[in-house]
Amino acid sequence: MIELRDVGVTFPGAARPSLDGVNLSIAAGETVALAGPSGSGKTSLLRLLNALLLPTTGSVSVDGMDTRDDASLWEIRRRVGLVFQNPDDQIVSTTVERELAFGMENLGLDRDEMRSRVETLLPMLGLEQLRDRPPHRLSGGEKQRVAVAAVLAMRPRHLLLDEPTSLLDARGRADLWALLAELRSREERTVIHVTQFPEEIAYADRAVVLVEGRVVFDAPPRELFAAGSGADGWGLRPPPAMGLAGALRTAGRPLPEDILTMDELIEALAGGTQ
């Protein structure tokens, strides 16, 4: 359980708070998409959850532990894994394989366990061929997959992903979502991901929208894109399938009103044929 109570963050010298009056409570196992314009405080919010950033006002707790409590710091970092928005800010090791081992070593895992996790994760993220390469010399998308793998290797109970697909191509994105879905089906894991892709918001159970440091929306994604929700005013586009369905309806092709994803649209148009 992750709880933010009346959280405010004001950076030194800043004219106004970057987060303001944020109340959120996220149950273990929930999948939450965090969206909002650039500068709205999404990254700051994630950094609060693993105590990289402390609230200026209010409190943040993870499984009952207050992030300001130094004695809990290690346990909080063990439970909360954060994949950074920019992989270069996260990667520290000289080879891909060592980067995956790095966090596990800090957790004190034994060699066999580490080896087995590395061997499972490398192929899952398409990194087998790259295992001996220096991460800082990989391409952006490759680095991003290394950063995700390194955090997954630690099996954090709460997984935070800050725009984890921003550098991936379409296949890389689809593969990562399939992998996360599979991990969730096997063990309970909270996933909080920041995304700019409306379709990735649609994957979550719950969408939270930040605007200028405040939570302006917190409900299932379907409601976010319903008419009149305000999404447009917050700079959020509906998933493209919704727009296409609208255009087709206007052109006289009968379609259900609640289409959100491309798969639903394809099914509605060509359902029954294979």
Partner 1 sequence: MRIVLDSVGLTYDRGLPTARSGLGGVSLSIGAGDAVAIMGPTGSGKTTLLEIAAGLVAPTTGSASLDEAEDGASLKSRVGLVYQFPELQFFEETVFDEVAYGLRAARIGEDEVVRRVHAALDRVRLKPSSFVERSPLTLSAGEQRRAAIAALVVLERPFLLLDEPSAGLDPRTRDRILELIHREREAGRAILLVTHDPELAEETVDRIVVLSSGSIVADGSPADVFGDAGLLERLGLEAPPAHELVNALSRRDPAVARDVASVVLGRPALRDGVSNDRF
- The residue ranges that bind ligand ADP (CB under 6 A) are 11, 14, 18, 36, 38-44, 137-139, 141
In eight-state DSSP terms, residue 164 is T
Q: CB nearer to partner 1: give 64 or 233.
A: 233
Q: CB nearer to ligand ADP: give 94 or 116.
A: 94
How many contiguous H segments (helices) and E segments (strands) does the chain have? 10, 10
Closest CA to 83 of 39, 128, 52: 52
Contact status, residue 38 vs residue 57, Cβ threshold 8 Å:
no
Q: Using the rule CB under 5 A, is 139 a contact of Mg ion?
A: yes
CA gap 112, 110 in Å, rounded: 6
> How far, in whole angstroms, is CA 248 from its chain's centroid?
32
Q: Select the binding partner of residue 269 from ligand ADP, partner 1, Mg ion, none (C-beta < 5 to 8 A, by kind).
A: partner 1
Binding-site string for Mg ion from residue 75 to residue 104, where x marks contact by CB under 5 A and - marks none:
----------x-------------------
Q: CB nearer to ligand ADP: give 109 or 207.
A: 207
Q: Select the binding partner of residue 185 from ligand ADP, Mg ion, partner 1, none (C-beta < 5 to 8 A, by kind).
A: none
Longest CA pairwise span in the chain (Å) = 64
Q: CB nearer to partner 1: give 81 or 238.
A: 238
240-250 and 262-270 helices, crossing angle to 10°: 30
Q: CB nearer to partner 1: give 5 or 133.
A: 133
CA gap 104, 46 in Å, rounded: 21
CB of 161 to ligand ADP, least distance (A): 13
**Contact residues for Mg ion (CB under 5 A)?**
42-43, 85, 139
